[in-house]
């Protein structure tokens, strides 16, 4: 008998342990994600009283006073008190004393406290309060600060988790670089309840640190999984009015007087062979970045004149040939066939 009691005891222990493991491993998002559907559950059990009406009140950022906004009666069903909002749907059952609402396409303005009130006779009102908290996943990005070769500490890059609720955790993984880099953290909270967290990476922009890979890791309750953004520290060098990658062997110096950046366009103001080289364009948004490349090759001045002359002669030749072709009547014959 004693053995069986012990066995049952141990089995229950194992069962609880397994349940606990499963619960912690799943990292369930227990909140409504922005744009998702929320259920506002409401149910009473006193079956001896008469139920005449279920009233819903809400207190949100938009309506800071507890206002009635929905009434439910057995005859009329759901009615809006102050303007219709079709995102709310009554999914309860009046006879079962169930006033549950469903709210679809949840926005930040819906966050707050919802109260359902059962008007019961003869016992009076019974209230249930339900909080509605939203989860807003952040927009994540890493921005390169384009550091130039030097001996003083500068900002290499910033990693941003924008507009998260609750706030996201942002950190840099720079293990291989040890104390050669330093990070700082900064966060801003907005009126709508979201927070932007930024972590900055600093270091001395040497040739040695150039090309090192680091990672920015973003985590938090609003994300179902950690997000890792890779970043390569790229150090540039500035020599007399030129700007170039330290690692690039290509002669891709951009003479400041010869190029003009106009929005997303790079204008080559004078076509000289100084501008020859590989041009790379990076377009990035919250979801990643794409590169585009263009190889520019401008032949030297005298050569250009020769090319221009050649082109003029070529077009003259083509023109003359066409004229001859037309005059000889072959055109006409060709079309009359
Ligand atoms: C919250 O407010 C910030 C700052 O005004 C804005 O950039 C962001 O888009 C807002 N978030 C939502 C989900 O409305």
- How far, in Å, is the centroid of ligand 1 from the Cα of 57? 26
| Same structural domain, 169 and 249 | no
- How far, in Å, is the centroid of ligand 1 from the Cα of 284? 20
pLDDT in tens, 213-247: 999 999 999 999 999 999 999 999 876 555 565 65
- How far, in Å, is the centroid of ligand 1 from the Cα of 192? 6
pLDDT in tens, 43-101: 998 778 899 999 999 999 888 999 999 999 999 899 999 899 999 999 999 999 999 99
pLDDT in tens, 282-319: 555 544 555 555 545 555 443 344 344 445 444 545 55
pLDDT in tens, 158-199: 999 999 999 999 999 998 898 999 999 999 999 999 999 999
| Angle 53-58-60 from CA coordinates, rounded to 5° | 170
Beta bridge partners of 239: 242
Which of 32, 194, 195, 196 to mutate to test ligand 1, by most ligand atoms within 8 A of the CB atom?
A: 194
Contacts of 132 (CB under 8 A, 6+ apart): 32, 38, 40, 103, 106, 110, 111, 112, 113, 114
| Same structural domain, 213 and 190 | yes
Of 286, 170, 169, give the one whose Cα is nearest residue 220.
Answer: 169
| Same structural domain, 128 and 143 | no
Domain end, chosen from 135, 157, 190, is at 135
Rounded CA separation 233/157 (Å): 8
Residue 76 DSSP SS3: coil
- How far, in Å, is the centroid of ligand 1 from the Cα of 194? 7
CATH number where 85 lies: 2.60.40.10
| Same structural domain, 91 and 76 | yes
Contacts of 108 (CB under 8 A, 6+ apart): 34, 61, 134, 136, 165, 192, 193, 194
Residue 274 DSSP SS3: helix
Q: Is residue 15 part of a domain?
A: no
Say yes or no: CB of residue 108 within 6 Å of ligand 1: yes
Provide the domain count of the chain.
Answer: 3
Rounded CA separation 281/18 (Å): 52
- Residue-number span of the structural domain to which 143 is assigned: 139-232
Q: What's the pLDDT at 175?
A: 87
Atom 6 of ligand 1 has which residue's CA nearest to it?
163
Say yes or no: CB of residue 136 within 6 Å of ligand 1: yes
| Same structural domain, 92 and 153 | no
Ligand 1 atom with the smallest distance to the CA of 192 is 1
- How far, in Å, is the centroid of ligand 1 from the Cα of 220? 18
Domain end, chosen from 171, 202, 232, is at 232
CA 144 from chain centre, in angstroms, equals 17
Atom 4 of ligand 1 has which residue's CA nearest to it?
190
Contacts of 212 (CB under 8 A, 6+ apart): 176, 177, 232, 233
| Same structural domain, 155 and 224 | yes
Say yes or no: CB of residue 192 within 6 Å of ligand 1: yes
| Same structural domain, 104 and 153 | no
């Amino acid at each position: 008998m004693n053995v069986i009691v012990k066995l049952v005891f141990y089995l229950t222990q194992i069962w609880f342990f397994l349940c606990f493991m499963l619960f912690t491993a799943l990292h369930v998002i227990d909140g409504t994600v922005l744009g998702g559907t929320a259920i506002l559950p409401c149910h009473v059990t006193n079956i001896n009283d008469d139920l005449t009406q279920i009233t819903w009140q809400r207190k949100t950022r938009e309506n800071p006073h507890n206002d009635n906004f929905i009434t439910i009666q057995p005859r009329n069903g759901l009615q809006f008190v102050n303007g219709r909002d079709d995102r709310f749907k009554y999914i309860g059952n009046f006879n079962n004393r169930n006033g549950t609402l469903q709210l679809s396409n949840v926005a930040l303005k819906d966050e707050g406290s919802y109260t359902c009130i059962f008007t019961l006779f003869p016992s009076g009102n019974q209230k249930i309060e339900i909080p509605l908290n939203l989860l807003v996943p952040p927009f994540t990005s890493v921005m390169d600060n384009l550091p130039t070769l030097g001996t003083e500490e500068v900002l290499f890059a910033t990693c941003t988790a924008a507009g998260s609720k609750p706030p996201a955790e942002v950190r840099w993984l720079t293990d291989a670089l040890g104390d050669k880099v330093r990070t700082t953290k900064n966060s801003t909270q907005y009126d709508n309840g979201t927070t932007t967290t930024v972590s900055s990476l600093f270091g001395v922009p040497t040739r040695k640190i150039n090309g090192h890979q680091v990672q920015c890791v973003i985590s938090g309750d609003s994300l179902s999984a950690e997000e890792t953004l890779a970043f390569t520290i790229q150090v540039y060098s500035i020599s007399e009015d030129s700007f170039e990658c330290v690692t690039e062997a290509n002669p891709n110096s951009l003479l400041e007087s010869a190029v003009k950046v106009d929005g997303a366009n790079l204008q080559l103001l004078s076509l000289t062979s100084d501008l020859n080289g590989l041009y790379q364009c990076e377009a990035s948004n919250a979801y990643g970045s794409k590169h585009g490349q263009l190889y520019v090759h401008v032949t030297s001045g005298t050569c250009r004149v020769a090319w221009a002359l050649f082109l003029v002669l070529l077009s003259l030749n083509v023109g003359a040939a066409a004229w001859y072709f037309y005059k000889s009547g072959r055109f006409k014959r060709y079309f009359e066939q």
